[in-house]
Amino acid sequence: MLIAILLLTAGLNAAGRERLQRERPSSVANALDALGLLQPESVRSILLLHSGKSLLRSKAGELEAALRKDPNNIDDRLMLIGYYTSNGRGSADRLRLRSHVLWMISNHPEHASTAEPSLHDLPDDPEGNSQVLELWKNNLGSHPNDLPVLKNAEKFFFGKEPAEADRLIHRISEREPDSSEWPVELAHLYRMFGIPGEKIDNPAERAIEEYRRVLELTKNPAAREALPGEMADAAFRIGDFPAAVELAKIYLKSSDRPAVQRANTILGRIALRTGDLADARQYLLDSANPAAAPDIALSGPTLVLAKELIEHGERETVLAYLESCLKLWPRGENVLRIWIADIKNGRTPNLGGP
């Protein structure tokens, strides 16, 4: 049923959809919205690509015939890309998939669908993938100032040519200096591939250089203060502890409200994982020092390090930490006293988490 309705409505243009919203009952609008017809182009593209996976082969043949009459029907083309990506059999289907992907990138590089992975990599088709790469390089030359094209190109080059992705992120950021998307994207690029063209063996030095470069793109004052904490968290999650330590120490000097809690928690969790219990204990206590008062009063204590330390038998340290929190988190007094009583009575408090 979903495919049938998609096929019937694929020809609706933007004006027609808007008219339907004005003239038809809300139930019609809701039905169209469920199909992506009233969604942003990026969401609609994903829905069409996904819907194509469940097409019958006979229906795919009908769409191919329809495209020969109307090659500009993007909806049909996206459904066929979804179909051949999931159900293609043999060289003939690989060529059909290639032709549809190349048509989209050549004729509509600004379309949101060209940022989707299924239009980046053609399965078992190295020749087709070379043509895709060449088309994107040509698009950069022929659409140097087209922002949607540059954004789609960045998504394509991100995993293929990080140096080109780096250049594109900087170009786009110049056009959208207040957007938080591009500093985040640059940090993600560096986290996955390092700094293109730079070989920095020392993880701490590399982290500082990555931070410096991402900071240059970050214009919002609050985001600049929070940035080293975000990057420290990301480094910790992937096990890059030297980088996380360096970034957390930078963050500790920031004026960001959560900095004292967050930085000390990261440093303590790393100390625990590297066998330094003494430092882990101290970082826990430091995370509830008076400088953390504004954050703890508003958001409550961050308990993950306390939970990990109590699992390592560090009950006295956790007890001292919770007693410090009593002074900083008045509205949490009841639960804090329950946890404190648990520890004093030999029980393990439930500090949350898995």
* Residue 134 CB contacts under 8 Å (≥ 6 apart), including other chains: none
| Mean pLDDT along residues 123-136 | 97
Q: What is the DSSP string of 63-106?
A: HHHHHHH-TT-HHHHHHHHHHHHHH--HHHHHHHHHHHHHHHHH
Contact 304, 339 (CB under 8 A): no
What does the DSSP assignment read for 158-204?
HTT-HHHHHHHHHHHHHHSTT-SHHHHHHHHHHHHH-STT-----HH
For range 13-41, the mean pLDDT: 49
Distance separating alpha carbons of residues 164 and 196, to the nearest angstrom:
9
Q: pLDDT value at position 36? A: 56
pLDDT of 122 strictly over 50:
yes
Tokens linked to 198 = 């730079």
User: Could you tell me which residues come within 8 angstroms of residue 186 by beta carbon, excluding any fewer than 6 positions away?
Assistant: 166, 169, 170, 173, 213, 214, 217
Task: Report the interhelical angle of 221-237 vs 181-193 (nearest 10°).
Answer: 30
Comparing 17-21, 122-126, 188-192, the range with the smallest average pLDDT is 17-21
pLDDT grade for 352, boundaries at 50, 70 and 90: confident
Q: What value does the mean pLDDT take over residues 286-306?
A: 96
Asked if pLDDT for residue 11 goes beyond 80, the answer is no
Query: What's residue 164's pLDDT?
Result: 98
- Alpha helices by DSSP H, listed for 194-303, are 203-217, 221-237, 241-252, 259-273, 277-286, 293-299
pLDDT in tens, 48-103: 999 999 999 999 999 999 999 999 999 999 999 999 999 988 999 999 999 999 99
Domain range summary for the chain, segments of one domain joined by +: 1-104, 155-256, 283-354
Q: Which helix (H) or strand (E) holds 141?
A: helix 126-142
The pLDDT value recorded for residue 28 is 39
Placement of tokens 């066998």 in the chain? 275
pLDDT digits (tens, 9 = 90+) for 139-175: 999 999 999 999 999 999 999 999 999 999 999 999 9
- pLDDT tops 70 at residue 24: no
pTM for the whole thing? 0.80
Helix 2-9 vs helix 57-69: crossing angle, to nearest 10: 0
State the average pLDDT over residues 244-263: 97
Spatial neighbors of 6 by CB under 8 A, at least 6 apart, are: 35, 48, 51, 75, 79
For a pLDDT cut of 90, what percent of the chain falls above it? 86
CB 353 within 8 A of CB 324: no
* Whether residue 19 has pLDDT greater than 90: no
Give yes or no for residue 29 having a pLDDT over 50: no
Confidence of residue 33 (pLDDT cuts 50, 70, 90): low
